[in-house]
Amino acid sequence: MQARVFGHSWGADGLTGGEPNQEIAKLHAARQRSGKLVAYSVVWHILDELHVHSVAVDPAYQRKGIAKTLLERVLAEARAQGAVAATLEVRASNAAALALYTKLGFQTEAVRPKYYENPVEDALILWRRKL
């Protein structure tokens, strides 16, 4: 799914940070009743912050509210486990993701110039300071 959504694939260790991050990395998945994976998120819960590392929805299932529902559950779980804020990075041109994150209470606070490759693009750093 990573390759279909992002154009490349990092693999499990690339997403979670491997064994050293085993205690902080969490994978959440959305599946059909048949078991087919339709979306996932990888987050790192570090102290009292949630770092949203990756969110992907299978292209055939996009624009159906799956990412919103998944992230609402992830944020609620993180809050219940002591997180008080959440952060993420997103391509500056990813209007759909920015709209979703804004609906979820995230705000742009900084820019990482030329962070992304293929094509080279800035990353916006978003925060939701109160969960």
pTM: 0.83
Taking alpha carbons only, the member of 115, 120, 43, 112 closest to residue 79 is 43
Q: Give the per-residue pLDDT at 22.
A: 62
What CATH fold (topology level) applies to the domain 2-128? Answer: Aminopeptidase (3.40.630)
Domain extent listing, the chain? 2-128
Residue in the block written with tokens 């486990």: 81
Q: Give the per-residue pLDDT at 3.
A: 46
Full 3-state SS string of 106-117:
CEEEEEEEEEEC
Using one digit for the tens of pLDDT, what is the confidence trace for 80-90?
Answer: 999 999 999 99
Tell me the pLDDT band of 4, cut-offs 50, 70 and 90.
very low
The answer to whether residue 5 scores a pLDDT higher than 50 is no
Q: Which residue in 77, 89, 115, 116 is the catalytic one? A: 89
Is position 89 annotated as part of the catalytic site? yes
Whether the Cβ atoms of residue 88 and residue 122 lie closer than 8 Å to each other:
no
Is position 121 annotated as part of the catalytic site? no
